[in-house]
Amino acid sequence: MAFGFAELQAAAPGLIAGITTTLEVVAFAVVGGLLIGTFLALARLSPYKWLSVPAKLYVNYFRSVPLLLVLIWFYFAVPMMYNWATGRYLTIDVAFASCVVAFMVFEAAYFAEVVRAGIQSISKGQVNAAKALGMTYAQTMRLVILPQAFRKMLPLILQQSIILFQDTTLVFAIGLVDFFRASYVRGDLMGMLTPYILFAGVVYFLVSATATYGVKQLQKRLRT
């Protein structure tokens, strides 16, 4: 069978399962990474060195190591940590769980810098005004600063999420069947490896290009 619509139709269930796994990893990593990154950003801006110094070390460390290395670390570390904490063996997909944790921890370092820049872009006058109204630091951040900061940094968060989507192809190294691996396995099985790899590349390009265009349009709307 030649590579074409009929072949793609036959391969559709596996490819759909693969892209679903890819999107699940991206979604968990973005949400988890953003939550961790927000706490890291607040810690880095803290006047207390026992908070700011560890946060700075965390960010600098994970921005200095290759993502593939982090994935391999957590592939072996997640089952060990789960067994140590619970005394039981991990029963869910080890590759999926380790990928989610690794991406969350890794992307948190980048989201932390985005959030920190967003917070610093807000005028200090608003902080002083909140203090004058009797707000605590936590209330000021939650009710005044962070809502405005997230609006400003939303395009950067989405852009980082697009980069994360592209980086998910690295999960191939630890055996998780994402879209790229599903395409590779199908192509290898059917003797159409090159067409399937090219097809996967086209899909990643189209998704990334469409998302990037959407981010640019969002930036224009936020400026008006």
pLDDT digits (tens), the chain, 224 positions: 677 888 888 899 999 999 999 999 999 999 999 999 999 999 998 888 999 999 999 999 999 999 999 999 888 887 787 777 777 776 667 788 889 999 999 999 999 999 999 888 888 888 788 888 888 877 888 888 888 888 888 899 999 999 999 999 999 888 889 999 999 999 998 889 999 999 999 999 999 999 999 999 988 887 76
Is residue 103 within 8 Å of residue 29, measured between CB atoms?
yes
Instruction: Quote the pLDDT of residue 211.
Output: 94
Range of the domain at 113: 5-223
**What's the CATH code of the domain at 24?**
1.10.3720.10
Question: In total, how many domains does the chain have?
Answer: 1
pLDDT of residue 151: 85
The pLDDT of residue 184 is 93
pLDDT of residue 113: 94
Question: How many angstroms separate the CA atoms of 88 and 156, rounded?
Answer: 40
Report pLDDT digits (tens) over 155-204. 999 999 999 999 999 998 888 899 999 999 999 988 899 999 999 999 99
Query: How does pLDDT run across 91-100, given as a tens digit for each residue?
Result: 667 788 889 9
**What is residue 1's predicted lDDT score, i.e. its pLDDT?**
61
